[in-house]
Amino acid sequence: DAKTTQPTSMDCAEGRAANLPCNHSTISGNEYVYWYRQIHSQGPQYIIHGLKNNETNEMASLIITEDRKSSTLILPHATLRDTAVYYCSHYGGSQGNLIFGKGTKLSVKP
C-alpha cells in the first residue's frame, strides 16, 4: 500500500529554518510530491509540489532526493504563524486520490 512517513513532531525557533522530512518510498515515477499544512480547525492549505527537481515558491522550498523516495520541505524563516501540521502526499490512493499520513506537527517557538 502507498504511504508516507513523517516525524510526529518538530520544534523550531522563530526566525530559523524549519526542515521537515518525508519518506515516500512507494511513490511512482510519474507522481508528484505534494506538501500541505493544516492549521488547527482549518482545511489543509497547499504549499508546494514537485516531481524531480527542487522547487521554490513564496512559501517554501522543496528538496526531492534523486531516487525520489524522500523529500524535505524547508521553511526558510519560520514564524509563529507557521505552527501547523504538515503533510506530504502523493497520488497513491485506490481512487487516484492523495494519500495522507499522520503528518508532522511543527511548533514554532519564540
Partner 1 sequence: GAVVSQHPSWVICKSGTSVKIECRSLDFQATTMFWYRQFPKQSLMLMATSNEGSKATYEQGVEKDKFLINHASLTLSTLTVTSAHPEDSSFYICSAAEIKPQETQYFGPGTRLLVL
When binding is defined by CB under 8 A, the residue of 21, 49, 61, 74 that contacts partner 1 is: 49
Q: Are 26 and 91 in contact (CB under 8 A)?
A: no
**Distance in angstroms (rounded) separating the CA atoms of residues 75 and 99:** 22
Q: Which long-range contacts (CB under 8 A, 24 or more apart) does 44-47 make?
A: 44/87, 47/73, 47/86
**Binding flag, residue 87, partner 1 (CB under 8 A):** yes
Among 1, 8, 29, 43, binds partner 1 (CB under 8 A): 43
Residues 1-30 touching partner 1, rule: CB under 8 A, are none
Q: Got the DSSP string for 90-107?
A: ES-STTSPPEE---EEEE
- Per-residue mark of binding to partner 1, 55-84 (x: CB under 8 A): ------------------------------
List the one residue from 8, 67, 81, 96 that touches partner 1 (CB under 8 A). Answer: 96
* C-beta closer to partner 1: residue 42 or 67: 42
Residues in the chain: 110
